[in-house]
């Protein structure tokens, strides 16, 4: 429990320290370095010589007047209501200023405290642009010497673009009509500067493609279509060649068959084929019938003659 209380106390202390630091760097007034004079806005009506008026800068007394006698500073730097006039402002002029008015009896009549921050005047910005055909836009850049802490603003054809507060701006080419003009401005707490007018000369966006397709898609589709047509032509030519070859082979076969049939028909005598069957029977050589062959007597065999052998003397 004690550890928790100690931790909580440390956190609260750190928070107070951070808050004090934040308040220390919070500026109530802003002034330009090199400014001739600045009157601090403090007023005390009824200020008299009997009052004690004291001004401090970062706890250092810069003016003290008591009973009408100035001991620190110059009387001409104080107005009739007690305001302090600062001359020839520099970065060293920044800090906390405090005014205290005391009654003749020494009681506090009024106190006033404010912190003043010194800043340089901003330099004139330089506006440039770059065309971006891929995104169909023009990109503008407002160049400033020290962009940290600056506020940027843009005008399009002398109309302020209230929503654009960045250092860069991107506008679609479709919004560029004729000689569209742009300017940018930079500002801080004490000054503001505007750039020269710029008129981008970017070409407008290309006309919309057919069916909202991009050029790459159209080229790819056309290439695919040409390839498909070539493939179909190759297939058709191949089929035609095959069909022609088959037809040629069939024709050659038919011609060969016709030639063979013609040869066979030429080998047979047409007179023989057209001869009358009766003439063929009449001109046919006569043959013996079977009965006549049977009735003829068979030849009688002749007896063998035996020749006597003569003895060899």
Say whether both 79 and 50 belong to one domain: yes
Same domain? 30 vs 86: yes
Alpha carbon of 278 to those of 46, 269, 281, 287: distances in Å? Answer: 177, 18, 5, 17
Is the residue at 262 inside a domain?
no
pLDDT reported for residue 9: 45
Q: Which residues of 208-234 are buried (b: 16+ CB within 10 A; e: fewer)?
A: eeeeeeeeeeeeeeeeeeeeeeeeeee
Question: What is the number of other CB atoms lying within 10 angstroms of the CB of residue 150?
Answer: 18
Whether 303 is in a domain gets the answer no
Say yes or no: 87 and 130 in one domain.
Answer: no
Please classify residue 137 by burial: count the beta carbons closer than 10 Å to its beta carbon, then call 0-12 exposed, 13-18 middle and 19+ buried. buried
What total of structural domains would you count in the chain?
2
In a shared domain, residues 109 and 136: no
Assess if residue 11 is contained within a domain. no
> Do both 114 and 130 map to the same domain?
no
Beta bridge partners of 102: 52, 108
CA–CA separation, 254 and 258 (whole Å) = 6
228 domain residue, yes or no: no
Segments of the chain with pLDDT less than 50: 1-23, 272, 276, 279-284, 286-295, 309-313
Q: Are residues 115 and 134 in the same domain?
A: no
Q: Are 27 and 113 members of one domain?
A: yes
Q: Taking a C-beta distance cutoff of 8 angstroms, is the pair 195, 185 a contact?
A: yes
Q: Tell me the pLDDT tens digit for each residue of 148-159.
A: 889 999 999 889
Same domain, 78 and 133: no
What is residue 305's predicted lDDT score, i.e. its pLDDT?
Answer: 53
Q: Decide if 288 is inside a domain.
A: no
The domain that holds 152 is classified in CATH as 2.60.40.10
Q: Which domain holds residue 69?
A: 23-119
Q: Are residues 138 and 81 in the same domain?
A: no
Q: Are residues 106 and 41 in the same domain?
A: yes
Last residue of a domain, one of 80, 102, 119: 119
pLDDT of residue 248: 83
Position 190 in a domain: yes
Question: Same domain, yes or no, for 115 and 145?
Answer: no
- Residue 99 vs residues 46, 57, 293: alpha-carbon distances, Å: 15, 9, 183
Does 276 reside within a domain? no
**Three-class HEC string of the chain:** CHHHHHHHHHHHHHHHHHHHHHHHCCCCEEEECCCCEEECCCCCCCCCCCCEEEEEECCEEEEEEECCEEEECCHHHECCCCCEEEECCCHHHCEEEEEEEECCCCCEEEEEEEEEEEECCCCCCEEEEEEECCCCEEEEEEECCCCCCCEEEEEECCEEECCCCCCEEEEEHHHCCCCCCEEEEEECCCCEEECCCECCCCCCCCCCCHHHCCHHHHHHHHHHHHHHHHHHHHHHHHHHHHHHHHHHHHHHHHHHHHHHHHHHHHHCCHHHHHCCHHHHHHCCCCCCCHHHHHHCCCCCCCCCCCCCCCCCC
Same domain (yes/no): 70, 137 = no
Last residue of a domain, one of 54, 88, 119: 119
Q: In angstroms, what CA-CA distances link 308 with 2, 163, 271, 292, 311?
A: 182, 168, 66, 42, 9
Is residue 79, in this structure, part of any structural domain at all? yes
Residue where a domain terminates, one of 70, 102, 119:
119
What pLDDT digit, counting tens, does each position of 67-100 carry?
Answer: 889 999 999 999 999 999 999 999 999 999 999 9
């Amino acid at each position: 429990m004690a550890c928790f209380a100690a931790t909580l106390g440390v956190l609260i202390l750190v928070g107070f320290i951070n808050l004090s630091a934040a308040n220390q760097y919070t500026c109530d007034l802003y002034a330009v370095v090199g400014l001739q004079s600045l009157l601090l806005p403090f007023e005390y009506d009824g200020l008299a010589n009997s009052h004690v008026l004291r001004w401090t800068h970062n706890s250092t007394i810069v003016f003290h007047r008591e009973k009408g006698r100035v001991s620190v500073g110059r009387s001409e730097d104080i107005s009739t209501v007690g305001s302090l006039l600062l001359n020839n402002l520099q970065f060293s002029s920044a800090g906390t200023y405090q005014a205290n008015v005391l009654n003749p009896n020494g009681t506090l009549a009024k106190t006033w405290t404010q912190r003043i921050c010194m800043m340089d005047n901003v330099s004139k910005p330089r506006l440039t642009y770059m065309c971006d055909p891929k995104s169909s836009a023009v990109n503008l850049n407002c160049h400033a010497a020290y962009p940290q802490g600056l506020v940027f603003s843009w005008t399009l054809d002398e109309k302020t673009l209230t929503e654009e507060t960045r250092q860069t701006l991107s506008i679609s080419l479709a919004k560029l009509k004729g000689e569209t003009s742009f300017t940018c401005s930079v500002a801080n707490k004490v000054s503001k500067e505007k750039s020269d007018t710029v008129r981008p000369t970017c070409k407008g966006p290309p006309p919309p493609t057919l069916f909202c397709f991009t050029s790459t898609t159209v080229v790819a589709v056309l290439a695919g279509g040409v390839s498909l047509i070539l493939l179909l032509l190759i297939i058709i030519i191949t089929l035609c060649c095959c069909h022609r070859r088959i037809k040629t082979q069939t024709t050659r076969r038919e011609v060969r068959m016709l030639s063979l049939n013609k040869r066979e028909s030429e080998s047979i005598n047409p007179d023989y084929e057209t001869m009358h069957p009766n003439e063929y029977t009449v001109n046919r050589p006569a043959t013996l019938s079977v009965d006549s062959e049977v009735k003829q007597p068979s030849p009688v065999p002749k007896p063998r003659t035996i020749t006597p052998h003569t003895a060899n003397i």
